[in-house]
Structure 1
Amino acid sequence: MASPLFPVFADLRGRDVLVVGGGAVAQRKAEALLEAGARVRLGAPEISAALSHHAGEGRIQHLQGPFQAHWLDGAWLAIAATDDQAVNQAVADAGEARRIWVNVVDDAQASSVQIPARIERGPLQVAISSGGGAPMLARHLREKLESELDESIGALAELLARERPRIRARFPQTGQRRRFFDRLLAGPVPNLLRQRQPLAAEREFSAALGESSDTGTRGYVALVGAGPGDPGLLTLRALRVLNEADVILHDRLVSKDVLQLVRRDAQRIEVGKQAGNHHTTQQQIHALMLEHARAGKRVVRLKGGDPFVFGRGGEELEVLRADGIEFEVVPGITAALACAAYAGVPLTHRDHAQSVRLVTAHCKDSLDTLDWPSLALERQTLAVYMGVAGLDALRDRLIAHGRAPSTPFALVENGSRPEQRVVVGTLADLAERARHHEVQSPALLIVGEVAALAQTLHWFGTAPLGEAPLALAA
């Protein structure tokens, strides 16, 4: 059934609006009206301290006493916001007699106009109304859209409003303007405004305005961190970029739950990078990014964890920069932070670890380049990425350089995902424990006194596997 309401955005600047009520709801309505530029008259026997302050400053006019119908004289709109149904109905009846729109808060039947839930981004407003019948649903949708609409949309709306005469002069026909906006909004201008580069955005706008209608749109690439797997750990910016992408180049280890959030019509290309099975080389990934960006596509290079923590994101940006491709980086929650948190392991602890080291150990060559004497020091935490295949060598080298065989470890497999497992023990039996429980990639190894806390602080998934490690010293 279609709504009987007709949506309207009212210009209340310099116009009288009556608010009846003196409590928190009336205060909220009055302050919203002041922001819209209305002249607010507020009628009530008593008003809140904040409203009294506004009246003292001359921002509102306080009509003291019980509601009087003549308060509506000259008003363009009235809002009844008292907790007395009879008073609210009297305001509605008096407004109806004078042909003045009246909103009665939380009473759709008595209202002749509804005040929608609003989202504001500069001059751009999105209003959501349920016709007064389901205000909590409208509020829920507003909160959801609030998280999806970037603040930079306000700056974009201001730019387009300011440049509207130039746009209409350059493209006098509606079809021409529509094609121009399609190119502009898919190009670098919105992205530059997100990056707080307004001058660069204005230069790109002017360049786009001078282009012919058949000029191709330049693409860009976003390096996006997908986190460890739980889609709830994605940033708001990551969600927005995934919903704008034309092409997704994703790692094999990006979870299915995260990929379900991708724009439905986006092209997905798996560029698998898994230990011992690199079916797409890094050079091929570079070539794919360049190919699609040169074709004017919005490309997301979606990586597990964070692009700049053992993700080769720096190499990919260097390739893009050399080719003149616009780019941005959207950080993700790296595995060390997420897996430790989901296993109940604090990476630092006042009593046990004052520093944390992030290490990758996916092959023998990488092991040979590590500073083992410093890694074997006590009172620090090691977070070892991609180390499942080299646990024997890693254990032996740490012990050989002074790390105690009794040092606790926690091996977190599929951290933050429903199938998460945590294997615990001591450094001496690290490799054996991992083989016994058939630990597979992706897994993060945590070595240090804090790893013992997984036994008592675990909160996600099943309890840790393995015998309890030695108790921490007091």
Structure 2
Amino acid sequence: MRYFPAFMDLQGATVLLSGGGELALRKARLLLPSGARIVAFSASENSPLARELGGQVILRAGPLSDTAFAENPKLLVAATGDEAEDERAAKLGRAHGVPVNAVDMPHLCDVVIPSIVHRGDLVVGISTGGAAPVIGRRLRERLEQMLPARLGEVIRFGKERRGIVSEAIQGKGRRAFWERFYSGPAAEAVMAGDEARAESLFREELEGETPGHVHIVGAGPGDPELLTLKALRVCQEADVILHDNLVSDEILALCRRDAERIYVGKKRSDHAVPQAEIGALMVRLAREGKRVVRLKGGDPFIFGRGGEELEALQAEGISATVVPGISAALGCAANAEVPLTHRGLSQSVTFVTAEAGGGGAPDIDWASLAKLRGTIVVYMGVRRAGDVAGDLLKGGLDASTPVAVVADGTRDTERVIRADLATLGDAAAQISAPGLLIIGEVAAKAKGEDLLALASQRQAA
């Protein structure tokens, strides 16, 4: 490790910047949040630096000289892009005992300015010592995605209350309290922008009442890479995971390893745990102070009964948050290369279900849907595919309307069969796994197997 990582306090300090072009502009953007007083040399009024940040930095048209060091700078950044000029500036800095950073010239650097991820008081620096800056940038991009945008607000909230905690809790108990706080509902409320609720939850935790919290989380259609960043974070912080049968093993593998896992899945005519018992279980676990994740396939608010579960929690005064997921319709259609809307083919999309409560048929005005001439996505439609087709044909939809049946969408076992409304029942009969029906002109674009070709293959065999 050639470069030792350290952080400089530049608040109110002078930083000399040699250059006014794009290189200097990039460095100035990094330095400004530190509160540094930046004095830029070789920076004309028409330079990129002046045009973007002219009101935030002090501009000097002439090159860096000895007189600049009378301002007692803490750092010199050489960023003109001219090798000879940057080398001259670096020598000046060293002669005056000022640490030097020379852009893209590691041999002239006393310090290296890393790729930075910034969330309030949280600052993460990533450096490869100038050997592979592209890798540093890629890591920064990954961290930018992983760290919540309001994480800095959570740190600020906790910082402002450190004195209160120090007075209320003695010794090792403080660390335990902060561990609970930063992964608990109070911190979650700050990230949601609700500081009044966060303050109430903070006080409850401080008084020894550890409130539980439930996240109702959409796990997406199956592919673990389609899990949202927020869903991943709460799954890795959970004490208990209540999961459905549509949640893939690959997604469960991403959850916190020592979290308790409870299967509460429901299949048609096979409810492992009745809905009322799921609600009661969530309430009990939350009252025990647990961080509970109710993990559901797709999006919890699209035929996922997430609304019912949220109401059950709210009725019992349990703190809860909904984390949306990529719905089965969006994920499966994208993976099957079906645009649900497409200029010239479909200007609307409608989501319906073929299964009502208790396993009966839903009360849907299929004739009105047929008249829309848009895309129809039918959830839980494989078993009733023939009935759906019959209802739409009666409503006036043409028998030649393209259809795609998608089973196990986005997973390695995905299967897509193309057919038309007249043969939809036959296409669905080829499927045994849970599936979606996509009905409309856009369905003709689906990748996958063609029903007629499948029939020809069977006859030949």
Give the structure-2-normalised TM-score: 0.89
Kept in 2: contact 1:388–1:439 (CA 8 A): yes
Which SS does the other structure have where 1:154 is aligned? helix
Contact 1:219/1:298 (<8 A) preserved: yes
2:443 maps to 1:451: yes
Q: Give 5+ residue unaligned stretches, structure 1.
A: 469-474
Distance 1:25-1:429 versus aligned 2 partners, 3 A rule: same
Q: Where in structure 2 are the equivalents of 1:266-415 lying within 5 Å?
A: 266-362=259-355, 366-367=360-361, 369-377=363-371, 379-415=373-409
Cα deviations across residues 200-239 of structure 1 (Å, max 9, x unaligned)? 2123223433x1xxx3521111111111122332222222
- Letter of the 1:425 counterpart: A
The residue identity in structure 1 corresponding to 2:249 is K
1:268-309 Cα shifts (integer Å, max 9, x gaps): 222222234332322332233223222222111111111011
1:325 partner letter: I
What is the total number of aligned residue pairs between the two structures? 451
Q: Does structure 2 retain, via aligned residues, the 8 Å contact 1:248–1:299?
A: yes
CA contact (8 A) 1:252 1:274 kept: yes
Counterpart-to-counterpart distance in 2, 1:45 and 1:61: 6
Aligned to 1:472: none
Which SS does the other structure have where 1:403 is aligned? coil
Distance 1:170 1:317, change over 3 A: same
Q: Is the Cα–Cα contact under 8 Å of residues 242 and 264 in structure 2 kept in the other structure? A: yes
Contact 1:219 1:297 in 2 (8 A): yes
> Percent identical across equivalent pairs?
46
**3-state SS of 1:139 partner:** helix
Distance 2:148 2:194 in 1: 15
1:246 alignment partner in structure 2: 239
Asked if the contact 1:348/1:450 (under 8 Å) is kept, the reply is yes
- Hey, what's the Cα distance between the residues in 2 that align with 1:433 and 1:57? 66
* Structural mapping, 1:20-419, within 5 Å: 20-44=18-42, 49-53=47-51, 57=55, 59-65=57-63, 67-73=64-70, 74-171=72-169, 173-209=170-206, 211=207, 215-362=208-355, 366-367=360-361, 369-377=363-371, 379-419=373-413
Distance in 2 (CA, whole Å) between partners of 1:413 and 1:7 is: 51
- Please give the alpha-carbon distance, in whole angstroms, between the structure 2 residues aligned to 1:315 and 1:405: 37
Q: What is the CA deviation profile of residues 90-141 of structure 1, one whole-angstrom value per residue up to 9, with x for unaligned ones?
A: 3333333332111122333321112122211123222223333333322222
Distance in structure 1 (CA, Å) of the matches to 2:44 and 2:210: 60
| 1:404–1:52 CA distance, 2 compared to 1 (3 A) | closer
Question: 1:55·1:61 contact (CA, 8 Å) conserved in 2?
Answer: no
Shift of 1:45: 7.2
Distance 2:133 2:344 in 1: 51
CA deviation string 1:424-472 (max 9, x = no partner)? 112222112332xx21222100122332233xxx4xxxx332249xxxx
- Counterpart of 2:315, as a letter, is A
Contact 2:340 2:346 in 1 (8 A): yes
Q: Which residue identity lines up with residue 351 of structure 2 in the other structure?
A: L
Return the offset for 1:395: 2.4
CA 1:48 to 1:246, structure 2 compared with 1: closer, same or farther past 3 Å? farther
Q: Answer yes or no: is the 8 Å Cα contact 2:407–2:431 preserved in 1.
A: yes
Q: CA deviation at 1:260?
A: 3.0
Q: For residues 90 and 258 of structure 2, what CA distance do their matches in structure 1 show? A: 49
- Cα contact 2:20–2:48 (8 A) shared by 1: no
User: Matches of 1:231 and 1:374 in 2, distance apart?
Assistant: 37
Say if 1:367 and 1:394, in contact at 8 Å, map to a contact too: no
In 1, distance between residues paired with 2:297 and 2:18? Answer: 55
Q: What residue number does 2:433 align with?
A: 441
Deviation readout 1:137-164 (Å, 9 max, x if unpaired): 2222221111111122111122222223
Partner deviation per Cα, 1:297-348 (whole Å, 9 max, x = no partner): 2111111111011101111112211222111111112122222222232333
Give the superposition deviation at 1:4: 4.5
| Local SS of the residue matching 2:112 | coil
Change (3 A) 1:344 1:136: closer
Q: Give the counterpart letter for 1:246 in structure 2.
A: D
Paired with 1:266 and 1:226, the residues of 2 have a C-alpha distance of 17
* Paired amino acid for 1:390: R
Contact kept, 8 Å, 1:356 with 1:381, in 2: the verdict is yes
The question of whether the paired residues in 2 share the 8 Å contact of 1:23 and 1:47 is answered with no
Shift of the 188–406 alpha-carbon distance from structure 1 to 2, 3 Å rule, reads same
AA partner of residue 202 (structure 1): E
Q: Which residue of 1 aligns with 2:458?
A: none
State the distance in 2 between where 1:264 and 1:329 align: 22
Equivalent-residue separation in structure 2 for 1:63 and 1:49 (angstroms): 10
- Measure the CA separation in 1 of the matches of 2:233 and 2:53: 42
2:383, 2:428 within 8 Å by CA — same for their partners in 1? no
CA, structure 1 residues 136+263, in 2 after alignment: closer, same or farther (shift >3 Å)?
farther
For the pair 1:8 / 2:1, whether they are aligned, the reply is no
Q: Relative to 1, partners in 2 of residues 1:165 and 1:354: Cα closer, same or farther, differing over 3 Å?
A: same
Structure 1 residues 353 and 98 mapped into 2: Cα distance closer, same or farther (>3 Å)?
closer
Letter in 2 for 1:68: S
- Measure the CA separation in 1 of the matches of 2:346 and 2:14: 64
Secondary structure of the 2:88 match is helix
Q: Write the deviation string for residues 163-193 of structure 1: whole angstroms up to 9, x where unpaired.
A: 233233333x442321221232233211111
* 1:20/1:79 contact within 8 Å kept: yes
1:58: how far off?
7.2
The residue that corresponds to 1:426 in the other structure is: 420
